[in-house]
Amino acid sequence: MTTPLSRRDFLARSTTFTAGALAAPSLCLGDVGVTRPMKRVLGRTGFEVTTLGLGGQASIQWTPADVDPTALILKALERGVNYFDTSNAYGPSQMNFGKALRARHLVPDRPGYDERGRRSLILASKTMVRHARGSHPEVHDRTDGPPGSRAADDIKRSLSQLFGDGRGGYPDDAYLDLFFIHNLNTLAEVEAIFEGLDRPDPKADRLGALAVLRDYRDGSNLTGLNPREEKRIRRIGISGHFSSPVMMECLQRDHSDVIDAMLIAINANDRRYQSHQFNAIPVAAAKNVGIVAMKTFADGAMYTKEPRWSQTPADVVRTVGDTRLPSRPLIEYSLATPGIGTLIIGIGEVAADARRCQLEQNLSAAQIRAQGLGEADRQEIESLADAAGKGRVNWFQVAQAALGAPREAAARIELRDGRRTAQLTWQTAYAADQPIRHYELQRDGKAIATVEHRPQTTKAPFVFEETLQSENRPSYRVVTVDAAGRTAATDPLAPALAG
């Protein structure tokens, strides 16, 4: 097992690579041949997952003519990887995983079924359908399934392609460990997936995806869409590349803790955009939601691919890093981000020579403890990643914005036990490229108190109260202060008079 880089080692090795003194086969910056992959607990799911997970895109989805996707998956299984990710929107990906599962006797109700082996794996799939029933003109429901497919149809499609006949049938004991609502980008989509969750109505014209996923998790039929009361998924997740505010809204609205996992983009260019590591990720971590990282190589744009979604086998990156930007520090950056449980990476190809094998190199790099890099190390990796497209490769992420002021701030004065009490409330601000430290409260232009920032896990606002000593009606501001000392203030708040 390799050890995390010290800052001195990192700088020395980076300098060596910049000088081009090492040959390409050693771009992992460390030895390969991991015998027992490191694992972490994935939040409140309780799943023990390898720090490297196998993503279901790259050559598993867009397979080059000379690559066998089944062999790629089988090698990951052989090397001890236990987290596998695919989707209903990934073309042949689920079918390719199904071939590998059958080859390893991991399909229920088949001769030689290895039930213990199946329990050792965490199999995750996804839907891009936002509705359990009906639709909405502002929300796009996408699937590779038949037209009109809804969230429950994608669950069954995954089960059929992974464990069944690929035409709708699946074994009685088939299940998925995680099922994500994938690629959430807008607040309209948030509204859609939550519709009817608190009070599912089987007769409603429209019902959100979360309600039916909960039915298939619990074996209930509150939606009327699980008449056999099947229990087919163990945990429910959400995913997003684009908007931290959207992901935060999902987590904060989830007062019944239906969402157990979050899949989110995080790489060394994160701070050049609206940062996930200082916005959505801390909220998920504070709720003990299991966090799965993705896009450590920006879908290949850190290397040879244009900054856009992959579309064909020609887009698949099949090399191991390069001399200007080794792959290892990028992997370590994502996995050392506080809160991350595992990192999924798509594989272009595997090779017998471990030095040239993406899977072996990535697995070696993933052997880093949680928060195993210091801030100086992270900054050095960010500087190294700037070489990739001048750091502007995360086209899938909201552009960087200035530090935000507290949102929905309000002030009121009420009489309590004969005393005038002022109460200020606000919703969390959004961080820029530094974490938020605290909020400063100002009365009539003077600082009077601070409130420590914390990840806001519900819609309950931050609150500050003070007893007023005079009959005057003061003016207030709430000011965000980040780790760099920058500030962003609300407009003046004239307190409303209660009663």
- DSSP conformation letters of 75-120: HHHHTT--EEE--TTSTTHHHHHHHHHHHTT-STTSTT--HHHHHT
Map out the domains of the chain as residue ranges.
7-391, 407-497
CATH of 7-391, one of 3.30.2350.10, 3.20.20.100, 3.30.70.20, 1.10.357.10: 3.20.20.100
DSSP 130-160: -EEE--BTTB--B-SSSTT--HHHHHHHHHH
Q: How far apart are CA 322 and CA 304, in angstroms?
A: 10
Contact 323, 27 (CB under 8 A): yes
407-497 falls under which CATH superfamily? Immunoglobulins (2.60.40.10)
Closest by CA position to 482, among listed 447, 432, 428, 407:
432
Residue 54 in contact with residue 80, Cβ under 8 Å?
A: no
Who contacts 8 (Cβ-Cβ below 8 Å, separation ≥6)? none
Query: What pLDDT is stored for residue 190 in this prediction?
Result: 98
- The SS3 of residue 189 is helix
pLDDT at 499: 64
Q: In whole angstroms, give the CA distance from residue 115 to residue 108.
A: 7
Host H or E run for residue 293: strand 290-294
Token pair of 400, please? 């960087």
Helix (DSSP H) and strand (DSSP E) numbers for the chain: 12, 20
Distances in Å between the Cα of 248 and the Cα atoms of 239, 272, 323 are: 11, 19, 37
Q: How far apart are CA 24 and CA 321, in angstroms?
A: 8
Phi, psi dihedrals of residue 203, rounded to the nearest 5°: -100, 0
pLDDT of residue 9: 56
Give residue 8's pLDDT: 47
Please give the pLDDT value at position 33: 73
77 φ/ψ angles, rounded to the nearest 5 degrees: -60, -45
Residue with tokens 């149809």: 153
DSSP character at residue 395: T
Tokens, residue 443: 């009365």
* CA 337 to each of CA 292, 314, 496: distance values in angstroms, whole numbers, following the listed order: 11, 31, 42
First to last CA, the chain: 66
User: Which pLDDT belongs to residue 497?
Assistant: 87
| Integer Cα distance of 62 and 311 in angstroms | 7
Q: Residue 282 and residue 279: Cα distance in Å, rounded?
A: 6
pLDDT for the residue 34: 86
Residue 2 is predicted with a pLDDT of: 41
H or E segment and range at residue 340: strand 340-345
Residue 28's pLDDT is: 45
Q: Which residues of the chain have pLDDT under 50?
A: 1-8, 11, 13-30
Residue 107 near residue 113 (C-beta atoms within 8 A): yes
Token reading at 158: 């995954």
Please tell me the distance from the alpha carbon of residue 269 to that of residue 273, in angstroms, as a whole number.
Answer: 7
